[in-house]
Chains A and B, each alone.
Chain A
């Protein structure tokens, strides 16, 4: 690679007595409070970050419950009015033969959010105690969570498109249900929770583990 490492024993910035700005990557002496280049606040390790992660995680989880119990979509046709929850709507789609769409909705609205709650909780717990999962895998998990989490918003956009498009007076109308608000809040809070996590802590734990048996 173009950047020469110190062999396989990587030195962390904190051990070297420097600190890097997480926004613009400029390196400063340890203890610098504010990055002189971009103005971001600098912390060597965000010790309070785990509390923020858990708080936002909890709010996200609490919003996820009503998101599933309230109706997401209300479909009104000449003959009937139908209200569907997220899962109910997907089941309805399977009955109509649209299995592919049902799978996308179920993955984006049920599998990804639940997997994300578990992944964030796992990461937050794993930096507090020795973990059997390697740092590489946990870093990968964190990046996947950050990347995939946003895609849960898709169901909100589907509801938005459908309820603005299907407005045919008496013939048919689709309207958003209350669950849409809770679902959007749940996605936003879990995104904030993942962003609050300081991924450098994943590697601190590894450094501690590697060092302790050798040093003693």
Chain B
């Protein structure tokens, strides 16, 4: 490079929302650094966040699998009953071109959230254990971040509430075990999303690479 004065790239941080440049000063644990221009959160380090996230991810994985298989909701009208699992609900669009919609729904509420926690664990476990990053960890984390807006478990949860009220004057609705698992699951997913400091993860992936 033939720059007249080399810019200390590692001492800068750029807000990806508004492109403002700041000189980097790491916030203390528990504090957060926000962009002074547009207010976006840039860094939120937290003590033992890695360990917490792994624990929560493990719980989410178990809950997703359990909530998918167990009965979720059941209804009964005049002796006729029907109960479904989340997977069955996701696959409700079964005829003709609607199959594509079934697969999309299943992905949005089951597979994308599951993929995100698995990828996050794959990236974080070696970091927390002070091992070198797992093979392809950067790609894994990038993919997990890309999937973020497409994880819609919490929207499905509100959808359940709406559907239940719509059905309630047509039939008696009762909750299966999976319903309660799913309720816990949504809370955990929201917690996990808000605890994770992306900047710190990228930093630790980078540091170990150059060593």
Contacts and interface: CB of A to CB of B under 8 A. Distances in A.
A16 B139 CA distance: 29
A81 interface: no
Interface stretch (B51-59, B62-70, B98-106): B98-106
A162 B166 CA distance: 9
A101 B20 contact: no
Interface residues of B, number: 82
Contacts of B134: none
A57 B155 CA distance: 22
A20 B12 CA distance: 10
B91 A164 contact: yes
B84 A165 contact: yes
Contacts of A130: none
B202 interface: yes
B13 A25 contact: yes
Interface in A155-205: 155-169, 171-172, 176, 178, 180-181, 184, 188, 191, 195, 199-200, 202-204
B77 A157 contact: no
B14 A165 contact: no
Contacts of A4: 22-23, 25
Interface residues of A, number: 73
Contact of B98 (A105, A164, A180): A180
A5 B152 CA distance: 36
B206 A37 contact: yes
Contacts of A184: 101, 104-105
A149 to B, nearest CB: 8
Interface of B: 1, 3, 7, 9-10, 12-14, 16-28, 31-39, 42-43, 73-75, 77-78, 80-82, 84, 88-93, 97-98, 100-101, 104-105, 108-109, 138-139, 141-142, 145, 149, 152, 155-156, 158-160, 162-163, 165-167, 169-171, 173, 198-199, 202, 205-206, 209
16 contacts: A3-B13, A3-B33, A5-B20, A5-B36, A5-B37, A16-B21, A20-B16, A37-B209, A38-B138, A38-B205, A139-B17, A154-B158, A157-B105, A158-B166, A162-B167, A166-B82
Closest 8 CB pairs of A and B: A157-B159, A20-B14, A164-B92, A2-B27, A161-B163, A5-B36, A200-B19, A24-B202
Given A24-B198, A155-B159, 16 more contacts: A1-B34, A2-B26, A3-B24, A3-B33, A11-B21, A12-B20, A20-B14, A28-B9, A38-B142, A39-B139, A151-B155, A153-B152, A160-B89, A161-B160, A162-B163, A166-B170
